[in-house]
A and B are shown apart, each in its own frame.
Chain A
């Protein structure tokens, strides 16, 4: 449920053929058509050469970040489940039948900052997709019993996830690293709140009223469609959707003053260490996030000096990776390593810190910087090969900035990152006071300083 942009994020690319010259001068090679409706709903269309196939996404900028009240952690995710429970026009069985008739791959998922409802399927059935989605976004109506029942599915999801020690550690790290901000809980929420979900029917009505509004939502269609067609359907089906007026007051996280620790005693998997530095929130125009993305790629990819030393030569580490959680508010830069012997945990932490300190002191090699930019660029170029991959990429940008065009700014900024930008970001964010150390081993304590 988290996105590590350093590895997943697309980068710009010029070599696709057959696009207009205007588009080709921008990092993202396809024209992004936007139409802002009077009620605040932003409609985004990207025409893509995928005969007969289209992806239809609704990105709602509500996630576990918005869960500011006590006792309702995990509610954004739970609410995503409730969106499949029918309306007055289509009860849940009729909704299922209608969805099945479209023959699409349709689902939804929730993260820290957003909830995405997506369908990829037959472009000829686009109007039916509009009809079904507009109906549930405006007229959701579920019986109270269905609400209580669906809570069991959420508990089931928690049950299957928490079987993994890594999921348990992730939960502990968030809870330890944050004091006030809602990133303190994972998107699943705290178990006690999940168990209490069936009692929160009234709150669910409030939740829908607050967040399922046009100003929180972007409608995105990618594939064998035209902007004109999409905009007309949007006006027809979403034109009467009412603007809301709620804004959650997200608590600001106080500055962390000293290193924190959390440990999971679990001997069934190899020893594991996770170093989590408080990083910046997303800022499309700033240079800190792109500098950190590039730095993390240089430091922790399979081409890095650290990987060569710890994984290939010394063979003390099974795997290592690192990246910045790209979220609207400041979140963690996580570096994770699976270790062969637990006696090496301190050594591995020291080696990571040493590599970071070297960057603070000396910056990074210019050639490596150029090669990393090239890597990001080509990685993106090869990744945009279907309507759903493009829709997913743009959804990430929309969740962060609200504006899909920010994808261009971000990738232009990658190209501009300098050695000094990287040094400055490393000095600012990789400090011991900002660190939370998470560990897993068979011992009662983590034992890493």
Chain B
């Protein structure tokens, strides 16, 4: 961590690749990240998931001279590690090794990236797991992650952003080993590579790495142009029904023409933190849904992709995107079947809490658009962020990752620049940005829920029926009057619903 004082070098390399260098003389570890600007948008039609499979096969396969098992044998005593991650527009390989073994480890890194073995048995194994993810894991292991991925599928339907990076059931089946080799040749090239390195490494090491990476394929990758998604007309809901769901998991959002490149990003970051800072109790959504009304585990909002929000407490690096959207996340709320079982006084209810929760969230956004933030809330939120964003870059790996993402967005050091932007921000900037980028009339909403809940919930949403909050008596008895008054307003809040559709879990991601 001394590191943070030691300076950052964004080198204009003599070679073709972009290089981000972070010298950290006091650390024992060397972190190398190779970012290819490709991502799942480069998957051919009918072969969705190919970029992911190519990356996974590189890190879970062998090199020209070593099998995967040989590599595991070699790196075992060093505790060296490596892996790949793929997002919509980038694939990143991350290697971490103790400096004692940097030179021993390097031939493995080089072999994996330049001469991946692409062996048939490795391909079969890696593809089988990917197939299982798209067929089963995403639908069965976490309803909230499911609703989040389903929202992207809904928002970006018909574009290269639609499919999960892991692909779809039919498309993964269609991928062959030859497809992988072809994808590697065309999209993992020296012409779309950014090299990042952090730690205590000799200067010559980086020179060698840069020189060797020149041996990557020399194709000019055909990266699709920035995806433009249409603003949905009205509020469109897809309810995904499955057997034995315990609650209703909700994600909602709309496209937004704003990224870290833009000056307004800092302003909207303040507004978003106020509305729904990730995993914090300060956001309005959290306070109203969870804290005041006892409805679920948490409620948050986002102005860019946030990877694995169920696990990550701080925004991870590595998912820079040119196409963006606003979203809010309502963690699973109760369904009627469970509430009826749990509380006698609720035995007559028709639906659980999803309709009410959506109304409350949309109404909060609507209020913010109409009235903006107050000076006091603006100052408090800005002060919070000025300290908080420094925590994004606590480790060498996250620091390096953020610098590489910065470069993707044409910036030098996003966190540093954000500090400056926050310092000069005014309340007027924030309220103007809210009006410019947010609205409450048009959006897509996905709800993963139990079969018993789907039909009545769909009817309630379609017809804009009143959705009074169904409290247990024990909670209701102590609620302050202002909460009950607000409940009445929320229950009757008109949502601009255009379409509601129920989908079987097996029919999603087609």
Contact status B388-A303, CB under 8 Å: no
Contact status B331-A160, CB under 8 Å: yes
CB B281 to nearest CB in A, in angstroms, measures 6
A/B interface sample: 17 pairs, CB < 8 A: A13-B28, A50-B4, A51-B2, A100-B280, A100-B383, A125-B387, A148-B478, A149-B291, A160-B297, A164-B140, A270-B136, A318-B129, A340-B128, A371-B77, A378-B78, A382-B29, A385-B395
CB A189 to nearest CB in B, in angstroms, measures 15
Task: Please pick, from A105, A144, A195, A303, the residue contacting B76 in the complex, using a CB distance under 8 A.
Answer: A303
Which B377-395 residues have C-beta < 8 A from chain A? 380-381, 383-388, 390-391, 394-395
Write out the residue numbers on chain A whose beta carbons fall within 8 Å of the beta carbon of B76. 301, 303, 371-372, 375
Residues 90-110 of B, flagged 1 when their CB comes within 8 A of A and 0 if not, give 000000101111000000000
CB B448 to nearest CB in A, in angstroms, measures 9
Assess whether A180 is interfacial by the CB under 8 Å rule.
no
Contact status A152-B132, CB under 8 Å: no
Assess whether B314 is interfacial by the CB under 8 Å rule.
yes
Contact status B142-A163, CB under 8 Å: yes
Q: Nearest CB to that of B125 among chain A residues?
A: A315
Interface locus among B67-75, B173-181, B206-214: B67-75
Contact status A49-B142, CB under 8 Å: no
Contact status B478-A303, CB under 8 Å: no
Interface locus among B159-167, B217-225, B243-251, B451-459: B243-251
Q: Nearest CB to that of A378 among chain B residues?
A: B79
Q: How far is the CA of A415 from the CA of B401 in the complex (A)?
A: 35
Assess whether B294 is interfacial by the CB under 8 Å rule.
yes
Write out the residue numbers on chain B whose beta carbons fall within 8 Å of the beta carbon of A155. 334
Which B105-137 residues have C-beta < 8 A from chain A? 121, 124-125, 128-129, 132, 136-137
Assess whether B333 is interfacial by the CB under 8 Å rule.
yes
CB A16 to nearest CB in B, in angstroms, measures 6
Contact status A101-B384, CB under 8 Å: yes
Task: Please pick, from B2, B78, B394, B472, the residue contacting A49 in the complex, using a CB distance under 8 A.
Answer: B2
Assess whether A410 is interfacial by the CB under 8 Å rule.
no
Q: How far is the CA of A386 from the CA of B396 in the complex (A)?
A: 9
A269 and B140 in contact, given A302-B72, A375-B78, A382-B29 (Cβ under 8 angstroms):
yes
Assess whether B304 is interfacial by the CB under 8 Å rule.
no
CB B394 to nearest CB in A, in angstroms, measures 4
Q: How far is the CA of A145 from the CA of B291 in the complex (A)?
A: 11
CB B129 to nearest CB in A, in angstroms, measures 6
Residues 385-401 of A, flagged 1 when their CB comes within 8 A of B and 0 if not, give 11111000000000000
Q: How far is the CA of A198 from the CA of B125 in the complex (A)?
A: 49
Contact status A105-B391, CB under 8 Å: yes
Q: How far is the CA of A145 from the CA of B394 in the complex (A)?
A: 39
Contact status B136-A269, CB under 8 Å: yes
Q: How far is the CA of A318 from the CA of B472 in the complex (A)?
A: 44
Contact status B314-A49, CB under 8 Å: no
Contact status A386-B1, CB under 8 Å: yes
Contact status A312-B279, CB under 8 Å: no
Contact status B331-A389, CB under 8 Å: no
Total B residues in contact with A, Cβ cutoff 8 Å:
82
Write out the residue numbers on chain A whose beta carbons fall within 8 Å of the beta carbon of B475. 145, 148-149, 152, 198
Contact status B391-A381, CB under 8 Å: no
Which B296-315 residues have C-beta < 8 A from chain A? 296-298, 310, 313-314
Contact status B79-A152, CB under 8 Å: no
CB B423 to nearest CB in A, in angstroms, measures 14
Contact status B295-A152, CB under 8 Å: yes
Q: Nearest CB to that of A301 among chain B residues?
A: B76
Task: Please pick, from B28, B72, B332, B479, the residue contacting A15 in the complex, using a CB distance under 8 A.
Answer: B28
Contact status B100-A15, CB under 8 Å: yes
CB B306 to nearest CB in A, in angstroms, measures 15
Task: Please pick, from A100, A125, A160, the residue contacting B249 in the complex, using a CB distance under 8 A.
Answer: A160
Q: How large is the interface on A (under 10, 10 to 19, 20 to 34, 35 or more residues)?
A: 35 or more
Contact status A378-B98, CB under 8 Å: yes
Assess whether B374 is interfacial by the CB under 8 Å rule.
no
Q: Nearest CB to that of A269 among chain B residues?
A: B140
A268 and B380 in contact, given A121-B387, A149-B291 (Cβ under 8 angstroms):
no
Contact status B28-A145, CB under 8 Å: no
Which A344-385 residues have C-beta < 8 A from chain B? 370-372, 374-379, 381-382, 385
Assess whether A240 is interfacial by the CB under 8 Å rule.
no
Q: How far is the CA of A43 from the CA of B332 in the complex (A)?
A: 39
Contact status B391-A121, CB under 8 Å: yes
Assess whether A294 is interfacial by the CB under 8 Å rule.
no
Contact status B28-A381, CB under 8 Å: yes
Contact status B245-A163, CB under 8 Å: yes
Contact status A268-B136, CB under 8 Å: yes
Contact status A156-B124, CB under 8 Å: no
Q: Nearest CB to that of B338 among chain A residues?
A: A159
Write out the residue numbers on chain B whose beta carbons fall within 8 Å of the beta carbon of A236. none
Q: How far is the CA of A374 from the CA of B76 in the complex (A)?
A: 8
CB B246 to nearest CB in A, in angstroms, measures 5
Assess whether A311 is interfacial by the CB under 8 Å rule.
yes
The 7 closest A-B pairs by CB, nearest first: A103-B387, A152-B294, A145-B478, A156-B296, A50-B1, A268-B140, A378-B79
CB B335 to nearest CB in A, in angstroms, measures 9
Assess whether A261 is interfacial by the CB under 8 Å rule.
no
Contact status B4-A51, CB under 8 Å: yes
Assess whether B342 is interfacial by the CB under 8 Å rule.
yes
Assess whether B27 is interfacial by the CB under 8 Å rule.
yes
Contact status B332-A159, CB under 8 Å: yes
Task: Please pick, from A50, A100, A159, A377, the residue contacting B384 in the complex, using a CB distance under 8 A.
Answer: A100
Which A116-159 residues have C-beta < 8 A from chain B? 120-122, 125, 143-145, 148-153, 155-157, 159
Write out the residue numbers on chain B whose beta carbons fall within 8 Å of the beta carbon of A15. 28, 98-100
A386 and B395 in contact, given A156-B290, A166-B141 (Cβ under 8 angstroms):
yes
Contact status B78-A374, CB under 8 Å: yes
Assess whether A97 is interfacial by the CB under 8 Å rule.
yes
Assess whether B45 is interfacial by the CB under 8 Å rule.
no
Assess whether B292 is interfacial by the CB under 8 Å rule.
yes
Write out the residue numbers on chain A whose beta carbons fall within 8 Å of the beta carbon of B2. 49, 51
Contact status A199-B249, CB under 8 Å: no
Task: Please pick, from A125, A144, A160, A199, the residue contacting B478 in the complex, using a CB distance under 8 A.
Answer: A144
Assess whether A205 is interfacial by the CB under 8 Å rule.
no
Assess whether A162 is interfacial by the CB under 8 Å rule.
yes
Q: How far is the CA of A308 from the CA of B67 in the complex (A)?
A: 11
Assess whether A48 is interfacial by the CB under 8 Å rule.
yes
CB A188 to nearest CB in B, in angstroms, measures 11
